[in-house]
Amino acid sequence: MVIWKRKEALDRPLKQEAVVPADDYGSLRREYAALAPRYNIRWQSYIAASVRETLKRAHIRSHDRVLDVGCGTGELLKAISFAVPEARLAGIDVSLEMLKIARSKSSGSVDMREGCAEALPFEDGVCDVVVSSSAFHFFRYPAAALTEMHRVLRVGGRIVLTDWCSDYPACRLYDLILRLFSPGHFRAYNSKKISQLIYSEGFSEINIERYKISWLWGMMTVTAKKAPAATTAQIPPRYHLGKQKP
C-alpha cells in the first residue's frame, strides 16, 4: 500500500558525496540476509528496549505521517501502529530479507521500500516525523542521511533518532571491535558529535538524552525540529544532554 507519492529521482545531489556507490551496503545486506530469520529472537530484549525508549520520546499524534529510516524487521513501526492507529506509516531499509519480515507484520498497511538513508524515495516535506532506531551506526554517509531526513520533513517536523552512545565505555569498545572485524558496521557516535552533525544539517531545538537499557549498554535518543529556512541560521547550537539513568 503506497501512502505517499514516490520520488523517482532526486532533484539535487547528496550533500558531500555525489553518489552512494552500489556496493557500499553490500556487506551489510549480506550480513542481514543471513541474520534476518533469527534477528528478533537473538536481539529480543535489546529491540524491545530501544523501541520502547524511542516511542516514548516520539510523541506521535493521530494522522502524523511517520517514516522509519532503517526500519529493519518493523518492530518500531508495529509499536507505533498499536500506539497511534491513525498514524500513516512508511519504512525503508537496505535489506530485502528484513523488509520481508517487516511486511508480514503490517498486513499491507505500511508503505515499505528498499533503499538507503542517503537517498530517500519520498518527496520534499511529506513527513511529520522521521524516526530511526538502532540504525544510524550503519549509515555510510551520516551527513547525507540527515540531509535527506531534513528534506522529507515539513517545516516544524521532527526527527527522533535512537542509537548506541559511545559516551559509554562498553559501547565505545564494541564500536572499535566492530570497525575492525565487521564490514557491515560503520561507526557509533558520542553525544557531542551527533549534536554537531544534526545542527550542521539545519535542525533546531536539539535535545539529546542518554540512558542505559541494561547495566552495561548505553543508548541515546536525539530529538530535533526542522526550522523555517529564514531562521535556521540564527539558532545557536544548543542542546540539552539528559542525565545518565542508572
Predicted confidence at residue 109, as pLDDT, reads 83
Q: Per the domain annotation, does 195 fall within a domain?
A: yes
Q: What CATH number does residue 73 fall under?
A: 3.40.50.150
Asked if 208 contacts 239 with a C-beta cutoff of 8 angstroms, the reply is: yes
pLDDT (tens digit per residue) in 144-183? 999 999 999 999 999 999 999 999 999 999 999 999 999 9
Predicted confidence at residue 24, as pLDDT, reads 86
Asked if 202 contacts 235 with a C-beta cutoff of 8 angstroms, the reply is: no
**Per-residue pLDDT in tens (0 to 9) along the chain, 246 residues:** 344 444 433 333 333 333 455 568 999 999 999 999 999 999 999 999 999 999 999 999 999 999 999 999 999 999 999 999 999 999 999 999 999 999 999 877 899 999 999 999 999 999 999 999 999 999 999 999 999 999 999 999 999 999 999 999 999 999 999 999 999 999 999 999 999 999 999 999 999 999 999 999 999 999 999 998 765 444 444 444 554 443
Q: Per the domain annotation, does 18 fall within a domain?
A: no
pLDDT above 90 covers a percentage of the chain that reads: 80
CB atoms within 10 A of CB 183: 12
- For the chain, the straight-line distance linking the first and the last C-alpha, in angstroms and rounded, comes to 42
Q: Per the domain annotation, does 95 fall within a domain?
A: yes
The span from the CA of 142 to the CA of 25, in Å, is 13
Q: Per the domain annotation, does 175 fall within a domain?
A: yes
Strands 218-226 and 153-164: antiparallel
Q: Per the domain annotation, does 97 fall within a domain?
A: yes
What is the helix (H) or strand (E) element at residue 21, kind and residue range?
none
Q: Per the domain annotation, does 19 fall within a domain?
A: no
Sheet strands (E) in the chain:
65-69, 88-93, 111-114, 127-133, 153-164, 203-212, 218-226, 239-242
Strands 127-133 and 65-69: parallel
List the domain range (segments joined by +) for residue 133.
Answer: 26-242
Mean pLDDT of the chain: 87
The span from the CA of 193 to the CA of 213, in Å, is 21
Q: Per the domain annotation, does 3 fall within a domain?
A: no
Count of structural domains, the chain: 1
Q: Per the domain annotation, does 10 fall within a domain?
A: no
